[in-house]
Structure 1
Amino acid sequence: MRTSRVPIVLVIALAGLILLTLIMAPMLMSSFPSFIGGGLPDCEETEVPDDASQTAVSDIPPDYLELYKKHGEAIGVQWNVLAAVGKRETDHGRSNLPGVSSGTNSAGAAGPMQFLISTWGGKPKIKIPSRFNGYASDGDGDGWADVYNPADAILGAAKMLKRNGAPEDVRRALFVYNRAWWYVDQVMEIARKYASDGEVNLPPEADAACDDTILDQVEDEVVQQILDYALAQRGKPYRWGGTGPDAFDCSGIVYMAYRSAGLSIPRTTFDQWPFGVRVKPGEERPGDLIFFNTGPGTAPDRPGHVALVVSKGKMVEARCTLCGPIKVTSYTNRSAIVGFTRPLENASVREQLERLREG
């Protein structure tokens, strides 16, 4: 019987492979975490809100949960309501429907929080700071407001809810976000499931430096209704002669805001100016009108531009075609101010108010 011999070349190759393995093994092991004694490598942990339910923790992606908490606290709205909007709109950005990660849906909405592009600021990505940015926000500090960026979109949504009544009147704020009461009910139900106690509670008081709410306290329900309508048009374009619902001119938005409260005032700036009772500068209140000596056919006592006062120093206005979307601006340092008027003190409006109260 003959004994087979392994070729000498193969023996040498095997010996070399064993030697190489012995040399490299310690080096390779040092490049990976030790699952026996050392555990996984250190990484930054996502902060989970103390008041988050197990449903919230298991359903919301960690990075989204952190953003809802961060921007909710900064602006002063309920984080779980923000999260519920994100869930209802796009399942926290996980939806594959059109408009979530690119483009828009059939209604013109985009991003994880489904902002209308016109409401966001006219285009999906805007350099910040910008004079005309609607709700466009820079939530991650990169200098851009990107409607598809969760950090930016969630911050913008928090501001929109705040400006329209949250945290106290969160249902009204949600109704402005998407004008359907069934939508409000659905979001509120999700928000309750995300809270550890099953409630939609008022959040801790926001940092005043981060809270850019624009409204003074308004006790008159009629004035509040006028302001609600006007503020809900922010982000829509200017159009000469426009009275909505898609676009407005300066006097058109004022006319329709009063009409939403059941009140009839003149349609044009030239007729609105003599209609209201004059108000001294510094004594203006939300709901009053502010007039400017600008625009075609204007004169010192024939103002061609009008806006609606929403708080001291701030107004909502549809300014011009090239001025960007309807927005809240400051009139503190604006030139060419002609004066203020109070349409609610006009005799015919007082009669209308009396009939509304009787009815």
Structure 2
Amino acid sequence: MNASSRTRVGIAVGVAGLLLLGLIIVSPMLMMPGIPSFIGTNPTTDCEDDVQTEEVSDSAASDIPPDLLELYKKHGKKIGVQWNVLAAVGKRETDHFRSNLPGVKSGTNYAGAAGPMQFLISTWGGKARIPIPSQFNGYASDGDGDGVADVYNPADAILGAARMLKRNGAPENVRRALFVYNRAWWYVDQVEAIAKKYAKSGDVKLPPQADPNCDEPLVQAAPSDVVAKILAYALAQRGKPYLWGGTGPDAFDCSGIIYMAYRNVGLDIPRTTFGQWPFGVKIEAGTEQPGDLVFFNAGPGTGPNNPGHVGMVVSKGKMIEARCRLCGPIKVTSYRRDSLMGFTRPLQNPAVLEQVKKLENAAL
């Protein structure tokens, strides 16, 4: 999400320092080699509720409201991100929900951001309150088990923020995950500094491994080594900006990142969405797998059988996409949208099958 916030940093600065809260980048990392096993969707009833046991610093104990401290630790443990990083984001965005600026407790600020962790409503799921379970596009989460994902509810918003950070590289690559959260390195530096003050160790350490029952994996096992390499390239581009006509290395458009991900492994597919749609073999919804393409009736020149937007499936319900210039950086999102048109499998195109065979023979 495009965000440019100036909230309070540290304990001594007053709430007036939050004047530029609104331009938060919440969107959903380089995890090479291989495919990362991030965590990402709705919690299950088997999710373990034990909080992380790392001691907090005196600074954290005096600054973070006890109920929010429990939520930071609880959801950090569940999803597998550092509780003190979550807490630092909450501090940086709304001073742990103390701010009374527009968009914190109701409505949105001028950038469309809302709630204690400052999600764009479009990034949360299209509206501020969403029934759960539900098919949604975003980070809407039910952190208190009441069946509703409420962007203004700290329990829900903190869980959503934990998922966003996890999808973009935390806990191993915290700085890159924070850069996707708010696309500014000064923001990353400030949040990291707060996080270090909050931990008694004075550092940002790796947390205990997340409970695997808490979420479905962000990336499923690749069906082949070729697909694993395709996904690795695409996922490595997260955090980079959208650029119409872009094919990297610094920016991409929706079809450009897919074209380059396939090209990176030696496979040629069409460059544009309009060319990619008829190129792959059509597959039924529900049979899609990582590496397949998902198309939408959205974007310029779109029509009933002429999609204007494309993403790459990374697991059931999730894709990596370069959406638009104002939609934030390249990230993993949900493909469960009303505009979804269908799925294709480029690897089943006869020309690509022949290319794969040549690559396999060359490797012998």
TM range (shorter): 0.5 to 0.7
Question: Relative to structure 1, is the Cα distance of residues 243 and 303 closer, same or farther in structure 2, using a 3 angstrom cutoff?
Answer: closer
C-alpha offsets along residues 259-313 of structure 1, whole Å, 9 cap, x if unaligned? 799999856433125778x8999xx986563579xx9564xxx999853132478
Aligned residue number for residue 125 of structure 1: 129
1:164 matched to 2:165: no
Aligned residue number for residue 340 of structure 1: 346
TM-score by length of 2: 0.61
Aligned residue number for residue 215 of structure 2: 211
C-alpha offsets along residues 303-342 of structure 1, whole Å, 9 cap, x if unaligned? 99853132478534799xxxxxx93348xxx996542349
1:69 matched to 2:73: yes
Aligned residue number for residue 147 of structure 1: 151
Cα distance in 2 between the residues matched to 1:228 and 1:108: 28
Residue 55 of structure 1 aligns to a residue whose secondary structure is helix
Aligned residue number for residue 181 of structure 1: 185
1:89 matched to 2:86: no
Q: Is the 8 A contact 1:80 1:191 kept in 2?
A: yes
Aligned residue number for residue 353 of structure 1: none
Q: Is the 8 A contact 1:163 1:215 kept in 2?
A: no
Q: How many residues end up aligned between the 2 structures? A: 277
The structure with the largest helix share of the pair is 1
Q: Is the 8 A contact 2:318 2:333 kept in 1?
A: no
Cα distance in 2 between the residues matched to 1:257 and 1:107: 30
Letter in 1 for 2:256: Y
Residue 126 of structure 1 aligns to a residue whose secondary structure is strand
Identity of aligned residues (%): 62
Question: Relative to structure 1, is the Cα distance of residues 52 and 118 closer, same or farther in structure 2, using a 3 angstrom cutoff?
Answer: same
Q: Is the 8 A contact 2:245 2:256 kept in 1?
A: no
Aligned residue number for residue 226 of structure 1: 234
Letter in 1 for 2:334: V
C-alpha offsets along residues 144-167 of structure 1, whole Å, 9 cap, x if unaligned? 111010000000000101111111
Residue 312 of structure 2 aligns to a residue whose secondary structure is strand
Residue 346 of structure 2 aligns to a residue whose secondary structure is strand
Structure 2 residue runs without a partner (length 5+) = 1-50, 247-251, 297-301, 324-331, 353-364
Residue 209 of structure 1 aligns to a residue whose secondary structure is coil
Cα distance in 1 between the residues matched to 2:317 and 2:116: 33
Residue 315 of structure 1 aligns to a residue whose secondary structure is strand
Aligned residue number for residue 255 of structure 1: 256
Question: Relative to structure 1, is the Cα distance of residues 95 and 317 closer, same or farther in structure 2, using a 3 angstrom cutoff?
Answer: same
Q: Is the 8 A contact 2:273 2:307 kept in 1?
A: yes
C-alpha displacement at 1:175, in angstroms?
A: 0.7
Cα distance in 2 between the residues matched to 1:171 and 1:306: 28
Question: Relative to structure 1, is the Cα distance of residues 190 and 258 closer, same or farther in structure 2, using a 3 angstrom cutoff?
Answer: farther
1:328 matched to 2:334: yes
C-alpha offsets along residues 203-259 of structure 1, whole Å, 9 cap, x if unaligned? 0011100133413589999855633657889xxxxxxxx9699xxxxx962336667
Question: Relative to structure 1, is the Cα distance of residues 142 and 73 closer, same or farther in structure 2, using a 3 angstrom cutoff?
Answer: same
Aligned residue number for residue 323 of structure 1: none
RMSD: 4.7
Cα distance in 1 between the residues matched to 2:322 and 2:183: 22
1:190 matched to 2:194: yes
Q: Is the 8 A contact 1:297 1:304 kept in 2?
A: no
Cα distance in 2 between the residues matched to 1:261 and 1:116: 32
Structure 1 residue runs without a partner (length 5+) = 1-46, 234-241, 246-250, 320-325, 347-359
C-alpha offsets along residues 77-117 of structure 1, whole Å, 9 cap, x if unaligned? 00000000000000000012111111111211100000011
Q: Is the 8 A contact 2:279 2:346 kept in 1?
A: no
Question: Relative to structure 1, is the Cα distance of residues 99 and 307 closer, same or farther in structure 2, using a 3 angstrom cutoff?
Answer: same
Question: Relative to structure 1, is the Cα distance of residues 167 and 342 closer, same or farther in structure 2, using a 3 angstrom cutoff?
Answer: farther
Question: Relative to structure 1, is the Cα distance of residues 303 and 161 closer, same or farther in structure 2, using a 3 angstrom cutoff?
Answer: closer
Residue 200 of structure 1 aligns to a residue whose secondary structure is coil
C-alpha displacement at 1:64, in angstroms?
A: 0.3
Say which one has the larger Rg: 1
C-alpha offsets along residues 123-175 of structure 1, whole Å, 9 cap, x if unaligned? 11111111114101111111111101000000000010111111111111111
Q: Is the 8 A contact 2:81 2:166 kept in 1?
A: yes
User: Relative contact order (C-alpha < 8 Å, sep 6+): which is higher?
Assistant: 2
Question: 267-276 or 142-151, which moves further after superposition?
Answer: 267-276
Q: Is the 8 A contact 2:129 2:149 kept in 1?
A: yes
Letter in 1 for 2:60: A
Where has structure 1 moved over 6 Å in runs of 4 or more?
217-222, 230-233, 259-265, 278-281, 302-305
Letter in 1 for 2:134: S
Letter in 1 for 2:234: I
Q: Is the 8 A contact 1:48 1:66 kept in 2?
A: no
